[in-house]
Amino acid sequence: MHRFFLDEIINENKVFIKEQSDINHIKNVLRIKENEKIEIVDKDYNEYIATIDFNFESSEKILLNIVKQIDVKRESDINLCLFAALLKSDKFEGMISQATQIGVNEIYPLITNRTIVKVKDSKKKVDRYNRIVSEVSKQCKRIKIPVVNDILNLKTIIKEDKYNEIFNDFDLIILCYELENKKDINSAIYEFIRENNVEDIYELKRKKELKVGVVIGPEGGFEDEEVKYLLREKTKVVTLGNRILKAETASLLILSILQHRLGDIC
């Protein structure tokens, strides 16, 4: 069943799709028929099944009849954010697609000292990334579309000391580093639990929604000065094992582990 997001709150049994790209998609791409069911998500993240009513003729909007509300928990128990160094376009796009499916809420593209990709038009890139995560969100039945933020330059962050500005509201930062050989993700989570004076992660989650950031470097990895700068009170530098992983593989692995240990993946 096809899914669409509406920028309004549904409080009646009829609603309109007004976004022209969605209208074109329904009429000319999907060729959805009269009374065919679709899924819609409103501004308050409520999910519904609706049917299309083509008896209402307008080129500017499509009338939907609400059939029923869907009560399914789609989103994770944690607010998971990905800070990832830019990779060659298809690899980075694959990474953010996987991150969206796993349940990430925000994505921060990074330029590091070893980033190979040259960015000519950052706004164009970010717009494309946001279109990708929007489409993936529909396909994997999310009710929240992740936000891809403006590209961050780690060199500028270090020079202007913007760590607190960017990471201040995070509870935990996991930085994956291939030269770390002692602390793994389990050790980092246990350490985080002890620091918060709770018995287990469930007790901590009952108190608040955890905001967790994951930092992934480029193909050549982070430089020492970058790791040293990011290693603050909230940051845990971890190893993902003795094998060197591609950046996109490391991202998929660590996000999956965190959703399993802290979130909603069983």
Give span(s): CATH 3.40.1280.10, the chain: 79-261
pTM of the complete model? 0.90
The three state secondary structure string of 57-91 is CCCCCEEEEEEEEECCCCCCCCEEEEEEECCCHHH
Token code pair at residue 88: 């060659």
pLDDT tier for residue 166 given thresholds of 50, 70 and 90: very high
Which whole number is the average pLDDT over 245-266? 92
CATH of domain 79-261: 3.40.1280.10
CA dihedral angle for residue 107, residue 111, residue 112, residue 116, rounded to 10 degrees: 120
Please name the residue that has the structure tokens 């999907």.
Answer: 30
User: Mind listing the pLDDT tens digit for each residue in 44-79?
Assistant: 999 999 999 887 667 788 889 999 999 999 999 899
CATH entry, 3-70, from 3.50.50.60, 2.60.40.10, 2.40.240.20, 3.30.750.24: 2.40.240.20
d(CA 192, CA 211): 13
d(CA 39, CA 226): 44
Taking alpha carbons only, the member of 109, 113, 239, 251 closest to residue 177 is 239
User: Mind listing the pLDDT tens digit for each residue in 203-239?
Assistant: 888 888 999 999 999 988 999 999 999 998 899 999 9
Which whole number is the average pLDDT over 137-156? 96
> Could you tell me if 5 and 40 are in contact, meaning their C-beta atoms sit under 8 angstroms apart?
yes
How would you classify the pairing of strands 152-153 and 14-17? Answer: unpaired
d(CA 264, CA 1): 23
Quick one: residue 61, left, alpha or beta (phi over 0 = left, psi -120 to 50 = alpha)? beta
Token code pair at residue 36: 């065919």
